[in-house]
Amino acid sequence: MGKIAFVFSGQGAQYSGMGKAVSEAYPSAKAVFDMADSVRGGTSGQCFEGTAEELCQTVNTQPCVFTADLAAAYALKEAGIIPDCVAGFSLGEIAALAFSGMLTDEEAFKLVCRRGELMDKAAKENPGAMAAVMKITPEKTEEICARFDKTYPVNYNSPAQTVVATTSENAEAFCEAVKEAGGRAKLLAVSGAFHSPFMADAADGLAEYMKDVEFSEPKIQIYSDVTAKPYEGDYKALVRAQVESPVKWQTIVENMIADGVDTFIEVGVGKTLTGLIKRINGDVKAFKAETPEDIEIIKTEI
C-alpha cells in the first residue's frame, strides 16, 4: 500500500452543524472545540448552530472551518488512521500546520483568527470578485486574464478548473470572454478576491503578527500552497505569501502522488477536495472524513 495524505478543506463548504457529530463521538475532536471556545468564545456555537449569513463572514468562516477540520483530523488519528503527509487548501493549510506540529493547536487557531480578520478588512478596503472557470485549461485561462486589468488566476484546482480574482467592474466581461473561448465561468459568492494582490495588506499584517510566533520543525511532511512542495526555508514567509499568492492545488496533488501517496482523505468540511483529486487523477483513492460514519467507512476501505 502507498502513502496516506490528509488534506484539509478550505473556505466555502461551511454549514451550520459542521463538526458536531464528530465532536460528540471522539474526545480528541471535542478537545479542539473546547480549545477554540477558550480562545474565541462562541466558536462551537457558530459551527453547530450559526446561520448561513453568520458563517459566510470571513472573520467567522476561517476559525470555524479550521476547528472543524482539525477536529476531524484528530478523530481519524484517534481511530488509528495516521497520515504520511498533509496539505491544506487555503485556510486549510493553517489547520495542517497545527496537525504537523509546526504550531500548537492554540497558536494556529489564534493565527487563523487574525488571518480571517485581516483578510476581511482587506476585502472591504480592496473589493473584488472571484469566478470559477471550467472546461478550459489553466493556460487558456491565464491568456484571458492577461486581457483584463487586475485579473489573476488564484486557485489552480484541476486540469479543467481554475478560479480567478478580478475587479467587480471586470467580472461580467471576464465571464463573457471565457464563454467565447469555449469555457464556462461562474461568479462565486465570496466576500473578497482572495489569494491575489487584492490581499497585499492582509499579507503584510499577517507577517507583522507572526513576528511573535515561533514555528517548529514539522513532525510530518506538509506541502505548501505557494510552492506545491514540502515546507522548507522561511516558514513564516510561506504562510505570509499564501494569503496573496495562487493556491497550486493540482500540482500539490500531483507531487504527493509522485512521492508515493495513493490514498487521500479530506478532513473537515465538505467534499470539494475529494472531487478535485478524482479529477486530477482517477487512479488514487479519495475519501471525505467529516462524520463518525465517514470514519467507519474509511477504516474498512484502507
C-alpha separations of 40 from 15, 57, 131, 166 in Å: 19, 15, 32, 33
Given the residues 9, 195, 196, 245, select the one marked as catalytic.
Answer: 195
Distance of CA 186 to the CA centre of its chain: 20
- Of 88, 62, 67, 103, nearest in space to 8 by CA: 88
DSSP sequence for 167-179: -TTTHHHHHHHHH
Instruction: Please say if 38 is a catalytic residue.
Output: no
- Nine cell digits for residue 57: 463572514
Instruction: Please say if 9 is a catalytic residue.
Output: no
Q: Work out whether strand 129-134 and strand 285-289 pair parallel, antiparallel, or are unpaired.
A: unpaired
157: DSSP letter: E
C-alpha span between 278 and 285 (Å, rounded) = 8
Given the residues 9, 23, 90, 224, select the one marked as catalytic.
Answer: 90
One-letter identity of residue 44 = S
Strand order across the 285-289 sheet: 221-222, 85-88, 3-8, 261-267, 285-289
Just list the catalytic residues. Answer: 90, 195
